[in-house]
Structure 1
Amino acid sequence: MRPWQTLPTHRSWLDAECRRLLGFGRHVVLPGGGAAYLDDDGVPDPSRGVQTWITARTVHVYSLGALLGVPGSAGVAAGALAGLTGGLRDARAGGWYHALSEHGVPDTVAGKSCYDHAFVLLAASSATLAGIPGARELLDEASGVFLDRFWDEEAGRCVDEWDVSWSVVAPYRGLNANMHAVEAMLAVADCLDDDSWRDRAARICAFVVTLAEENESRLPEHFDDGWGPQPDLNRDRPDDPFKPYGATIGHGLEWARLLLQAEAALGERAPSGLASTASLLFDRAVEDGWARDGAPGFVYTTDWAGVPVVRDRMHWVAAEAVGAADALHRRTGEARYADLYARWWDYVVTYLVDVDRGSWRHQLDASNVPADGVWPGKPDLYHAVQATLLPRVPLGPSLARAAHDGLVSA
């Protein structure tokens, strides 16, 4: 049987699903700018205020929609971007607050995070390519803040968080923020045609190769300020949405894809071992995470021996699984990756796609029944939309560059 990715009918299905997802978030923009947290029906939940990471992801996703010619997308991207140039932006100290309350008050307790700022970079680069007004100015500002505050040239990776006034940098270092920094750096490089951003991404990727070699392909997520692993962090809060204890299955899959994208983008300058490490991370995540308790789906986390800790299924993990399987199939030509790609899309459609209420169910329990202990509502289109696009673009360029250059296959 031909791999699904080669079938025009499958690509047509992916295109339709992408447009369906974009339709779900059409009311996401808030009156003052920025993106709302959406409930299960796509209705804004004002009690959750305005969050920078959701707003930036919305700018990115709807900039992709604009580049793809989906009507209404540019307006959503512009409305969300107004939040990044407005209330979420710290006009006095620089950078971006983590969130605004429902009354528009900045969150000064959470500090300023690499995670948030990486998504501002991604948003600004995608919006620049989409021609959204004000995006290039935002990209210039966000690039300067990111290099000044988060990029550690000596370490070759990013610090994680500052206090709101940029006075104290937290001792914690995190792999999650560095992962999204790699995605953002590759996107900025494609937008500006600037190899220095690719070279920074390469240094982070080389660190991940070493981590995988030293940890049986279960990536430590948490570190101290000297980049010493902290394997027991949050053992008492194992289902933390951003810093869970143990190995995160979805991140193993996400890194597998990113390493292959970095390899393609860097060409001869790519660090050694990216492709082989991608395969090892993928195989470990599948062995540890897929259908471990008799039901289909990926568990959220495991301990350092591969024993499941949080068995709930998160939608974003399945989204990253199909993207990684597709990337590895194209990189290696091995049929097993195409087989898994098809199997996991079957899972997505059977359990995650919500035909009646829209979007994808964000969290299921171990029996694939909808749950909301970690992710209530449906705030995030980013992973699902990207899952519908990644199989339709070359490995090298970022999604926005591929869309801008007409490289998204129909």
Structure 2
Amino acid sequence: MTLSDDSPGSPTWRHAARTDLLRFARRSERPEGGFVWLDDAGEADPDKNLELWINARMTYVFALAHLAGTSEAQRLAEHGVTALRTLFHDDEHGGWFDEVDTDGRTADTDKRCYGHAHVLLAAATAVVAEVPGADELLAEASDVHQRHFWEHESGRCVESFTRDWSQIDPYRGANSNMHTVEAYLVAGDVTGDPLWHDRALAICERIIGIHARSHGWRIPEHYDHDWTPVPEYNEESPADPFRPYGATPGHAFEWSRLLVQLAASLDEPRPWILEAAEALFAQAVEDTAEDDTPGLAYTTDWHGEPVVRERFHWVIAEAVLAAEALSTYTGTALYAGLASRWWSEIAEHFVDDATGSWHHELAPSMARSTRTWRGKPDAYHAFNALTLPGLPLAPSAALTIGGEQA
């Protein structure tokens, strides 16, 4: 399908939407250090502390934006790198705190793979953007991931530790490993060390090639200490923002896109990688794309029935990214058609014309909702959706973004 110059999803439309999004995202800069949680209007939410995942993601966004030629973006990326090296850093035990308050006091001392994966992603991207301090940040983030989170025996990453790394949480999670795959692919491209791609492949082989395949391509998100799935996890709290009950189709789309990028990065990709990417995508579409109802449900049960029907911005962002990646890799018209449909839904329902940012959560009626998310704390998913289509699938965007934006 050929898109007109200004139709939703076209390069012209995405460029304008990305400019608006970044204008909003700049408002998260905190003069004293780090990036704040923004409310719907773009003001700092006074009830929210500073979050590691937000600060790492915003650093990544501004580093990529700098590579795309956005003015002031490198300064903001440097602002983020500085916060990661100081405000969030544990000078005594190494690694990064998940949360600090606005006075710089530690609010959460556990060391979590999820946040550390985003630090690695931000650091590797900032190195390419030549952000001061990024090389040192990447060196430490790489060392921390290899010494603490990577578990050689299971071929996956563990979830979290106490502050001094002495006690490990028995919970294991697919979500943190998914973001680790993303970070490892970028780290491998930036450093040239094949170890990172090997480990990304190992994670995919186990969580997707084994567990998702054996569950009908619905991904078990939660596991015990020996990687036995716990399908009933959080059944009493199904709308948890990070550990919801059941299957999370948005993650199926995200894994699908990452698998395509992994395949594109390999000289001889194994056939199962594309098979899995297409199967995950197909099952997620079957479970969430309800006739002409816009948006995609957050979670389903193990039979594909929606549990949390709210529509999140990140889910449709990852859906359109997966469709674009599969369209590029396979040339199949189905994927381009779905991408076109979802771009139209994004433009009509998710883009906030008043601010340029995206509504983070909508009810099935497409009215605004706050069941799970409050405000607009995160530009990462929307920025990726507006940036990655049109770029080569490999190597990572940080190494190729300049050509598409010229």
What are the within-5 Å matches in structure 2 for residues 199-238 of structure 1? 199-207=198-206, 208-238=208-238
The answer on whether the counterparts of 1:327 and 1:395 sit within 8 Å (CA) in structure 2 is: yes
Query: For residue 375 of structure 1, what is the aligned residue in structure 2?
Result: 373
Q: How far does residue 310 in structure 1 lie from its aligned partner after superposition?
A: 0.2
What are the within-5 Å matches in structure 2 for residues 249-264 of structure 1? 249-264=249-264
Query: For residue 286 of structure 2, what is the aligned residue in structure 1?
Result: 287
Residue 47 of structure 2 aligns to a residue in which SS? helix
Q: How far does residue 3 in structure 1 lie from its aligned partner after superposition?
A: 6.0
Q: How far does residue 32 in structure 1 lie from its aligned partner after superposition?
A: 2.5
Query: For residue 321 of structure 1, what is the aligned residue in structure 2?
Result: 319
Matched, 1:117 2:113: no
Query: For residue 187 of structure 1, what is the aligned residue in structure 2?
Result: 186
TM-score scaled by structure 2?
A: 0.96
Residue 392 of structure 1 aligns to a residue in which SS? coil
Q: How far does residue 357 in structure 1 lie from its aligned partner after superposition?
A: 2.6
Q: How far does residue 103 in structure 1 lie from its aligned partner after superposition?
A: 2.6
Query: For residue 389 of structure 1, what is the aligned residue in structure 2?
Result: 387
Q: How far does residue 102 in structure 1 lie from its aligned partner after superposition?
A: 2.7
The answer on whether the counterparts of 2:217 and 2:283 sit within 8 Å (CA) in structure 1 is: yes
The answer on whether the counterparts of 2:171 and 2:224 sit within 8 Å (CA) in structure 1 is: yes
The answer on whether the counterparts of 2:159 and 2:176 sit within 8 Å (CA) in structure 1 is: yes
Residue 168 of structure 1 aligns to a residue in which SS? coil
Matched, 1:144 2:143: yes
Query: For residue 34 of structure 1, what is the aligned residue in structure 2?
Result: 34
Give the partner amino acid of 1:152. E
Give the partner amino acid of 1:44. A
Q: Residue deviations 1:133-169, cap 9 Å, x none? A: 0011000011001111100111111001111221101
Residue 154 of structure 2 aligns to a residue in which SS? coil
Q: How far does residue 390 in structure 1 lie from its aligned partner after superposition?
A: 1.5
Query: For residue 167 of structure 1, what is the aligned residue in structure 2?
Result: 166
Q: How far does residue 291 in structure 1 lie from its aligned partner after superposition?
A: 2.4
The counterpart of 1:307, out of the listed 305, 308, 330, is 305
Q: How far does residue 107 in structure 1 lie from its aligned partner after superposition?
A: 2.2
Following the alignment from structure 2 to structure 1, what is the Cα–Cα distance between the partners of residues 115 and 200?
Answer: 17
Q: Residue deviations 1:12-45, cap 9 Å, x none? A: 2111211211111112221221111111122222
The answer on whether the counterparts of 1:202 and 1:271 sit within 8 Å (CA) in structure 2 is: no
Following the alignment from structure 1 to structure 2, what is the Cα–Cα distance between the partners of residues 65 and 324?
Answer: 21
Give the partner amino acid of 2:27. H
The answer on whether the counterparts of 1:393 and 1:399 sit within 8 Å (CA) in structure 2 is: yes
TM-score scaled by structure 1?
A: 0.95
The counterpart of 1:351, out of the listed 349, 352, 360, is 349
Give the partner amino acid of 1:151. W
Following the alignment from structure 2 to structure 1, what is the Cα–Cα distance between the partners of residues 47 and 25?
Answer: 18
Identify unmatched segments of 5+ residues in structure 1: none
Q: Which runs of 4+ in 1 moved over 6 A?
A: none
Q: How far does residue 267 in structure 1 lie from its aligned partner after superposition?
A: 2.3
Q: Residue deviations 1:369-410, cap 9 Å, x none? A: 10112110000000000001111201111111222xx34255
What are the within-5 Å matches in structure 2 for residues 97-116 of structure 1? 97-109=97-109, 111-116=110-115
Following the alignment from structure 1 to structure 2, what is the Cα–Cα distance between the partners of residues 343 and 310?
Answer: 22
Residue 372 of structure 1 aligns to a residue in which SS? coil
Matched, 1:337 2:335: yes
Query: For residue 54 of structure 1, what is the aligned residue in structure 2?
Result: 54
Residue 309 of structure 1 aligns to a residue in which SS? strand
Residue 260 of structure 2 aligns to a residue in which SS? helix
Give the partner amino acid of 2:197. R
Q: Residue deviations 1:196-247, cap 9 Å, x none? A: 1111101011111222220100000000111000000000110000000000
Query: For residue 404 of structure 2, what is the aligned residue in structure 1?
Result: 408
Mean alpha-carbon deviation: is it higher for 64-73 or for 100-109? 100-109
Give the partner amino acid of 1:137. E
The answer on whether the counterparts of 2:100 and 2:108 sit within 8 Å (CA) in structure 1 is: no
The counterpart of 1:298, out of the listed 287, 296, 299, is 296
Give the partner amino acid of 1:134. G
Give the partner amino acid of 2:137. L
What are the within-5 Å matches in structure 2 for residues 9-20 of structure 1? 10-20=10-20
Following the alignment from structure 1 to structure 2, what is the Cα–Cα distance between the partners of residues 160 and 267?
Answer: 31
Following the alignment from structure 2 to structure 1, what is the Cα–Cα distance between the partners of residues 3 and 12?
Answer: 14
Residue 300 of structure 1 aligns to a residue in which SS? strand
Following the alignment from structure 1 to structure 2, what is the Cα–Cα distance between the partners of residues 401 and 239?
Answer: 36
Q: How far does residue 283 in structure 1 lie from its aligned partner after superposition?
A: 0.6
Following the alignment from structure 2 to structure 1, what is the Cα–Cα distance between the partners of residues 320 and 108?
Answer: 37
Following the alignment from structure 1 to structure 2, what is the Cα–Cα distance between the partners of residues 304 and 84?
Answer: 39
Query: For residue 24 of structure 1, what is the aligned residue in structure 2?
Result: 24
Over 3 Å counting, the alpha-carbon distance change for 1:162 and 1:273 in structure 2 is: same
The answer on whether the counterparts of 1:392 and 1:409 sit within 8 Å (CA) in structure 2 is: no
Give the partner amino acid of 1:302. T
Matched, 1:74 2:95: no
Residue 312 of structure 1 aligns to a residue in which SS? strand
Give the partner amino acid of 2:147. D
Q: How far does residue 9 in structure 1 lie from its aligned partner after superposition?
A: 9.1
Residue 357 of structure 2 aligns to a residue in which SS? coil
Query: For residue 197 of structure 2, what is the aligned residue in structure 1?
Result: 198
Following the alignment from structure 2 to structure 1, what is the Cα–Cα distance between the partners of residues 41 and 78?
Answer: 23
Give the partner amino acid of 2:161. W
Give the partner amino acid of 1:87. L
Residue 307 of structure 2 aligns to a residue in which SS? strand
Over 3 Å counting, the alpha-carbon distance change for 1:216 and 1:8 in structure 2 is: closer
Give the partner amino acid of 2:81. L
The answer on whether the counterparts of 1:42 and 1:358 sit within 8 Å (CA) in structure 2 is: no
Following the alignment from structure 1 to structure 2, what is the Cα–Cα distance between the partners of residues 25 and 175?
Answer: 28
